[in-house]
Structure 1
């Protein structure tokens, strides 16, 4: 059979229309199968807890279609975030993004930036905190700083990997207080806590929620938080660095995002799920019990936070020389 150019064009248009119709139908039926939620850090830390609490709370708003958490740790969240960016934009692979997405591009660790993602909602925000073992000789942040300044060797401080927010916090802390620090990277906040408990580092700068269990058990002691106000709860007696004369505020945020090209109707569905799940008692209670801060913000407000941090870290990272030990 002989085909004319017109036949070929007509066939191509028909196939395109069929594909569009199938995509539209798939979108209208969304979700029709299990949704994977990528968490770009190791299991056990604050980001992992936020992701799992959100997945659990979302069950009520995604009937009969579970959301399963897939941990993809490494490179300060870069591995999991890259997988999310490169995922098929059909709503079946979504992810938790962390503020590192505004930090690590400045270190040359990744080629992508936060602009390669579409934010859905911010779910949580927490400050950094300086925490040591309970049997450490420092009872206050002032004693810790005095000792660090006298030491010949740098103070070993654990973080969640090169370019992580907790690495940023430790580096900014060292720069602001004029102390020498040996940054010890691990795969996340949870491994950093293990390193501290095991005596492999002298301090860590993860969030209060990520050490709360061990602080409550009397194994760790938090000396200061990097926030404008005290955290409260079991940390209500812990001063802010600003109270001790150190003008430094550093913290993490965690939110939901999808690949940039995700269709608008799927984005709308996920936005509604995020709004409802974030306000659900299941999610709020899980964060409260873990001493993690509830901080829901819709896509527009979340984008403003992301843009502000992109500018902030673009200016700050070069000053801190984070590539140096």
Structure 2
């Protein structure tokens, strides 16, 4: 938030009676802890972004943010709870790209505009990752095996309708390969299943497999981005393999659509300053999560654009339920 507003809020938390100032609304917001709903399980990239944000935001809000994981339905349960919350700013959501996907799949009780954007925090591509002791050293080898063994390759995702499910489905469409799609309640359990030998691959973000790749337990075969990632310079893009596919997630803060704009503005300014905190940057850098900040207007444009894009992709893949 702007420096003057930040000072005012901190002063309020130190004991200034908001009523004595004669103003209402954002002038005394927040007066209690804010709950941040994470629609996926603890341990994954979405959870990591939420917790890093909540920790760094302590400097810019007079009350803390409590992170609560609400899993299920490929993110639908947590996103629905956030959309249906009281529009007072005290229950916010760490929204993911599934906000623009699930309604188009017919798997959600909400629409993408049932949540009002506050700020985008992050963006990451999907990546094809296999066990380090698997026979596939390259993406071409993996896809060749999958093509010769229809439906024998199990790819784990973060739930039916999740971006990691959609990215694998899009890969199959682009290459003419059939996969068995195995849903989990988040990326972390999918990766655990891959490590246990119960899957052939996952298509989660590089961040969600980075530690296991570094430890030599997993091997990343390709990233679904326009260019190679700085942290994984040796991993080719799918486009280098003549597969025209670039797809991934974004994460950000949102609140119920009827939340007053002055409350949104407080959260927006706090978000802007939080993203600039070195502690937030350090956590995301350590986990190889990409930082990409947009304010409420820019984030709204991203959601609208991606909702249209994913509707077209879902219709093309005939995935609507």
TM-score by length of 1: 0.90
- Could you say which residue in structure 2 is the equivalent of 1:94? 92
Tell me if the contact between 1:171 and 1:322 (Cα under 8 Å) persists in the aligned partners.
Answer: no
Counterpart contact for 2:80–2:109, Cα < 8 Å: no
- Map 1:281-300; keep pairs closer than 5 Å: 281-300=278-297
Contact 2:119–2:296 at 8 Å: present in 1 too?
Answer: yes
Matches within 5 A, 1:255-274: 255-274=252-271
* 1:47-98, Cα deviation, whole Å (9 max, x unpaired): 00000000001000013x1111000011111111111111111111111100
Whole-angstrom distance in 2 between the partners of 1:308 and 1:27: 30
Q: Which residue of 2 aligns with 1:156?
A: 154
Q: 1:145 aligns with which of 143, 148, 163?
A: 143
Q: What's the secondary structure of 1:184's corresponding residue? A: strand
Write the mapping of 1:157-172 to structure 2, written as runs, cut at 5 A.
157-172=155-170
1:128 Cα offset (Å): 0.2
Matched-pair contact (CA < 8 Å) for 2:221–2:235:
yes
Shift of the alpha carbon at 1:182? 0.4
SS in 1 for 2:24: helix
Question: 1: distance between equivalents of 2:85 and 2:145?
Answer: 48
Pair 73,85 (structure 1): closer, same or farther in 2 beyond 3 Å: same
Matched residues, number: 300
Task: Look up the match of 1:302.
Answer: 299
Q: 1:152 deviation in Å?
A: 4.4
Whether the aligned pair in 2 keeps the contact of 1:124 and 1:254 (CA below 8 Å) is: yes
- Match in the other structure for 1:17: none
Does structure 1 residue 182 correspond to structure 2 residue 188? no
The runs of 5 or more residues in structure 1 that have no matched partner are 1-23
2:242 alignment partner in structure 1: 245
**CA 1:70–1:149 in 2, change beyond 3 Å: closer, same or farther?**
same
CA contact (8 A) 1:226 1:249 kept: yes
> Partner of 1:57 in structure 2?
56
1:18 corresponds in structure 2 to none
| Root-mean-square deviation (Å) | 1.4
Which runs of no fewer than 5 residues in structure 2 stay unpaired?
1-22
Point out 4+ residue stretches in structure 1 off by more than 6 angstroms.
Answer: none
Task: Report which of the two structures shows the higher radius of gyration computed on alpha carbons.
Answer: 1
- Kept after mapping to 1: 8 A contact 2:224/2:245: yes
TM-superposed deviation, 1:266 = 0.9
Aligned equivalents of 2:297 and 2:25: distance in 1? 26
Task: Call closer, same or farther: CA 1:201–1:323 in 2, change over 3 Å.
Answer: farther
- The match for 1:276 is 273
Query: Where does residue 199 of structure 2 map in the other structure?
Result: 201
Query: CA 1:239/1:46 → structure 2, altered by over 3 Å: closer, same or farther?
Result: same
**Alpha carbons 1:130, 1:222 under 8 Å: kept:** yes
Which residue pairs with 2:34 in the alignment?
Answer: 35
Q: TM-score, normalised by structure 2?
A: 0.91
Other-structure match for 1:217: 215
Q: Is the 1:159–1:184 Cα contact (8 Å) retained in structure 2?
A: yes
